[in-house]
């Protein structure tokens, strides 16, 4: 297993600062201003404050590295063939955050050759700073995590708005395993797979690349993976930054059992 890069401590400090900002702002939820973006999604002043904190900090760390953030007004003009770049979701789960739920996180991924090689997921309301990547392992609050063990029942995690009449439901049920269903907001679902809190995350609808890059690095560090329903691999840095429906698994053998 490789040691984390020397600059990673600086990234963790930045993540802690972002988590503290998010938690401090929760004390005044009723006064947080929001607006609706062109795509119809909600953005709050906390999203924008975190965007500013993270992008400024990452550029200070690595001035020559491109930083792509969901809240950059020009983000949809920026897909380019960069070898390395940062991919940031300043506040994933804005609606959950604004409702007072703990199910939100801050995602930062270090991208190389259009794949996440290191990821940091800050879940401050849960008291977790999760980070790592393939060949580096996964850490929670500084503690290296063991690779998750399989459980008697297959724990399937999905979004609150997921269509449980979608075709993937029959595919999962066809595995013939006992199923436990978990519902969770934000990209914490992928992080849960990496931490052994769930085994399968099927999704019919699309997401954005910044939603999944950081936690996917964590999942792959634990030898899990994610594939689209046609069996293709996920790619990043595409025009529009969209990710079609997929299935992520703690154990790739589950993906093979589903024909992916």
Residue whose token pair is 């996440």? 116
Q: What is the mean pLDDT of residues 153-160?
A: 92
Residue whose token pair is 């790739």? 252
**158 and 125 both lie in a single domain:** no
Average pLDDT over all residues of the chain: 93
Q: What is the pLDDT of residues 90-135, one digit of tens each?
A: 999 999 999 999 999 999 999 999 999 999 999 999 999 999 999 9
**223 and 161 both lie in a single domain:** yes
Pick the last residue of a domain from 112, 144, 176: 144
Domain count, the chain: 2
Residue 149 lies in a domain: no
Residue 77 lies in a domain: yes
Q: Which among 145, 125, 114, 113 has a CA at the least distance from the CA of 218?
A: 145
Exposed, middle or buried, 178 (CB in 10 Å: 0-12/13-18/19+)?
exposed
Residue whose token pair is 């449980």? 164
Exposed, middle or buried, 245 (CB in 10 Å: 0-12/13-18/19+)?
middle
Q: Distance of CA 86 to CAs 70, 172, 183, 207, Å? A: 11, 34, 29, 18
Give residue 163's domain range.
Answer: 154-257
Q: Which among 130, 181, 175 has a CA at the least distance from the CA of 160?
A: 181
User: By percentage, how much of the chain surpasses pLDDT 70?
Assistant: 99
Q: Are 215 and 119 in contact (CB under 8 A)?
A: yes
**102 and 170 both lie in a single domain:** no
Retrieve residue 97's tokens.
Answer: 């955050």
pTM comes to 0.95
Pick the last residue of a domain from 144, 168, 188: 144
**204 and 100 both lie in a single domain:** no
pLDDT at residue 82, as a whole number? 86
pLDDT at residue 78, as a whole number? 64
**164 and 249 both lie in a single domain:** yes
Query: Which CATH number do you get for residue 161?
Result: 3.40.190.80
Retrieve residue 246's tokens.
Answer: 């997929």
Q: Are 193 and 219 in contact (CB under 8 A)?
A: yes
Pick the last residue of a domain from 91, 118, 144: 144
* pLDDT at residue 36 greater than cutoff 90: no
**91 and 164 both lie in a single domain:** no
In what side-by-side order are the strands of the sheet with 154-158?
179-183, 154-158, 200-203, 246-249, 225-228
**How many whole angstroms separate alpha carbon 128 and alpha carbon 23?**
13
Q: What is the pLDDT of residues 52-96, one digit of tens each?
A: 999 999 999 999 999 999 999 888 776 677 899 999 999 999 999
133 has which bridge partners?
Answer: 137
Q: Are 190 and 200 in contact (CB under 8 A)?
A: no
């Amino acid at each position: 297993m490789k040691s984390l890069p020397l600059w990673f401590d600086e990234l963790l400090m930045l993540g802690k600062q972002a988590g503290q900002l998010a938690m401090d702002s929760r004390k005044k939820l009723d006064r947080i201003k929001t607006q609706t973006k062109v795509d119809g999604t909600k953005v709050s002043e906390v999203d924008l404050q975190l965007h500013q904190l993270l992008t400024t900090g990452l550029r200070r760390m690595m001035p020559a590295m491109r930083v792509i953030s969901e809240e950059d007004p020009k983000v949809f003009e920026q897909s380019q063939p960069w070898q390395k770049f940062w991919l940031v979701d300043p506040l994933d789960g804005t609606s959950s955050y604004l409702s007072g739920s703990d199910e939100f996180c801050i995602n930062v991924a270090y991208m190389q050759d259009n794949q996440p090689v290191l990821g940091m997921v800050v879940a401050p309301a849960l008291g977790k700073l999760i980070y790592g990547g393939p060949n580096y392992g996964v850490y929670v609050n500084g503690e290296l995590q063991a690779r998750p063990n399989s459980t008697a029942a297959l724990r399937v995690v999905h979004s609150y708005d997921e269509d449980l009449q979608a075709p993937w439901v029959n595919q999962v049920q066809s595995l013939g395993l006992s199923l436990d269903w978990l519902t969770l907001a934000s990209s914490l679902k992928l992080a849960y797979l990496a931490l052994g809190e769930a085994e399968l995350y099927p999704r019919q609808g699309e997401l954005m690349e910044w939603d999944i890059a950081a936690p996917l690095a964590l999942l792959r560090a634990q030898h899990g993976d994610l594939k689209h329903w046609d069996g293709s691999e996920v790619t990043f840095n595409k025009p529009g930054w969209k990710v079609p429906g997929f299935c992520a698994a703690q154990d790739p053998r589950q993906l093979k059992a589903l024909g992916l």
